[in-house]
Amino acid sequence: MRRFNLAVLAAVTLSTGLSAVPAQAYGSHGGQRPLGIQNCTATACHFDVPPGTYDVQVLLGGEAASSTSVTGETRRALLPETAAPAGERVARSFTVNVRTPEGEPTGPDGTPGLDLRLGGSAPALADIKVTPARHARQIFLVGDSTVCDQPGDPYSGWGQQLPQYLRKGLSVANHADSGESTVTYLADSRLWATVQPRIRPGDLVLIQLAHNDKTTDAATYRANLETLVAGVRDKGGEPVLVTPIVRRWFNSDGTLDNNTALLVNGLGVDHPAVIRSVAAAQDVPLIDLTAKTKALVESLGVEASKALYLYNEKRDNTHTSVHGATVYAGLVREELVARHLVPEGRVRVG
């Protein structure tokens, strides 16, 4: 556990709050003190920092037993609920991407700076330190509404939940956007033309686009995927193709429908099959999320699988609940480690 200044170990809890203090401008990192708990109230912190990537260290706990989670920006899960026994402190750290817009690239700008919120059954923050990340590796996400940072409940994309599974040094830059296909993602200057220049050597770029390619023919779909792969490699990044999560459409025998559920469009284009083919031909790592989510949904069955999606809330069999997005993000985490794309020591196991 890292040592923290004992002078600031007065825990912030929901029952004992701090008065809000204006955030200090960060300025250059040289000679500047890390931004800390003076920027927090009982339930939230705001740091007046410019767009960039930041390391965050938190010290959790108070006089009573506590259990604290941290979310940030547009409902991004940054730290899973973490327990601390009464009178003890637990240190955790993570790296967060700050940008404008802070959520979906074609959505509202959101608030400037870094906003963090404390959640959990009994949140308690003893200390916090925010510094510019010097050696962070980015995981860029290129995708649609099943991946993106959804702005409001009950929706959540799996990319919104992925950061909580990653330790300090790995940051998720989620540039997925609702309603996008391979065609529109490449055409919109707020999307691919914005993402590609930000890729640095060693960064991962996870690409999951299929749900909205309903009228894209096979040749165009394949060419678009190849364009994205080449664009990542041109910047020294590592592309990772991700087959889409399944839609929750069952046959009478309890298996998923071969067309709607498994992303075969009206032209007969089998999107997951094309993605697998491009990955093999281009020697690109593949995360077969279609196969993974199909197995999970079918194992749960018609009733239990409803909780993964927004069936109960919206009769929606495509978009995931916070629970479902968290489960699916866990599948992505497992594949990142299994395919040696991320070291095992860089992920959280729960």
User: Over 80: is that where the pLDDT of 174 sits?
Assistant: yes
At 121, list the tokens: 């059954």
Strand locations in 85-203 (E): 90-98, 114-122, 124-132, 137-143, 170-174
Q: Is residue 165 domain-shared with residue 265, that is, in the same domain?
A: yes
As a whole number, mean pLDDT of residues 317-335 equals 98
Which residues are CB-neighbours of 197 under 8 A, at least 6 positions away? 235
Cβ(26)–Cβ(32) below 8 Å = yes
Closest CA to 309 of 121, 146, 141, 152: 146
Domain that holds residue 15: 6-132
Closest CA to 15 of 91, 99, 110, 118: 118
Q: Band the pLDDT of 9: cuts 50, 70, 90.
A: very low
1 inside domain: no
At 153, list the tokens: 């409940």
Q: Is residue 128 domain-shared with residue 111, that is, in the same domain?
A: yes
Q: Is residue 186 domain-shared with residue 204, that is, in the same domain?
A: yes
Q: Is residue 164 domain-shared with residue 296, that is, in the same domain?
A: yes
263-285 confidence digits (pLDDT tens): 999 999 999 999 999 999 999 99
The fraction of the chain above a pLDDT of 90, given in percent, is 89
Question: What is the enclosing helix (H) or strand (E) of 76?
Answer: strand 76-84
Amino acid 30: pLDDT: 43
275 inside domain: yes
174 inside domain: yes
Q: Is residue 106 domain-shared with residue 170, that is, in the same domain?
A: no
Q: Which spans in the chain are helix H?
A: 158-161, 182-187, 192-195, 218-234, 271-282, 289-304, 311-314, 322-338
User: Over 70: is that where the pLDDT of 27 sits?
Assistant: no
Domain-ending residue, one of 132, 161, 185: 132
What is the rounded distance in angstroms from the CA atom of residue 305 to the CA atom of residue 39? Answer: 41
As a whole number, mean pLDDT of residues 301-317 equals 97
Q: Is residue 216 domain-shared with residue 339, that is, in the same domain?
A: yes
Between 15 and 59, whose confidence is greater? Answer: 59
Q: Classify burial at 236, counting beta carbons within 10 Å of its beta carbon; exposed 0-12, middle 13-18, buried 19 or more.
A: exposed
Helix, strand, coil shares, percent, the chain, to 5: 30, 30, 45
Cβ(157)–Cβ(220) below 8 Å = no
Domain-ending residue, one of 132, 147, 163: 132
Amino acid 23: pLDDT: 32
Q: Band the pLDDT of 20: cuts 50, 70, 90.
A: very low
Q: Band the pLDDT of 349: cuts 50, 70, 90.
A: confident
301 inside domain: yes
Q: Are strands 286-287 and 137-143 parallel, antiparallel or unpaired?
A: unpaired
Q: Which residues of 84-117 are buried (b: 16+ CB within 10 A; e: fewer)?
A: beeeebbbbebbbbbbebbbbbebeebeebbbbb
User: Over 50: is that where the pLDDT of 98 sits?
Assistant: yes
The pTM of this model reads 0.91
Please name the amino acid found at residue 166: L
Amino acid 33: pLDDT: 58
| Lowest mean per-residue pLDDT among 21-30, 175-184, 261-270, 274-283 | 21-30
Q: Is residue 79 domain-shared with residue 166, that is, in the same domain?
A: no
Q: Is residue 58 domain-shared with residue 193, that is, in the same domain?
A: no
Amino acid 115: pLDDT: 98
User: Over 90: is that where the pLDDT of 21 sits?
Assistant: no
39 inside domain: yes
How many other C-beta atoms are found inside a 10 Å radius of the C-beta of residue 340? 9
Q: Is residue 221 domain-shared with residue 174, that is, in the same domain?
A: yes
User: Over 80: is that where the pLDDT of 72 sits?
Assistant: yes
As a whole number, mean pLDDT of residues 85-104 equals 97
282-308 confidence digits (pLDDT tens): 999 999 999 999 999 999 999 999 999
323 inside domain: yes
What is the rounded distance in angstroms from the CA atom of residue 242 to the CA atom of residue 260? Answer: 18
Cβ(132)–Cβ(50) below 8 Å = no
User: Over 50: is that where the pLDDT of 346 sits?
Assistant: yes
31-46 confidence digits (pLDDT tens): 455 799 999 998 999 9
Q: Is residue 107 domain-shared with residue 165, that is, in the same domain?
A: no
Tell me, what CATH number does 322's domain have? Answer: 3.40.50.1110
Q: Which long-range contacts (CB under 8 A, 24 or more apart) does 36-41 make?
A: 36/8, 36/127, 36/128, 36/129, 36/130, 37/8, 37/12, 37/125, 37/126, 37/127, 37/128, 39/128, 39/130, 40/12, 40/125, 40/128, 41/12, 41/17
As a whole number, mean pLDDT of residues 47-59 equals 97
Tell me, what CATH number does 115's domain have? Answer: 2.60.120
Q: Is residue 296 domain-shared with residue 165, that is, in the same domain?
A: yes
What is the rounded distance in angstroms from the CA atom of residue 74 to the CA atom of residue 101? Answer: 10
180 inside domain: yes
Mean predicted lDDT score pLDDT of the chain: 91
Domain-ending residue, one of 132, 167, 197: 132
Domain count, the chain: 2
Q: Is residue 144 domain-shared with residue 127, that is, in the same domain?
A: no
248 inside domain: yes
User: Over 80: is that where the pLDDT of 66 sits?
Assistant: yes
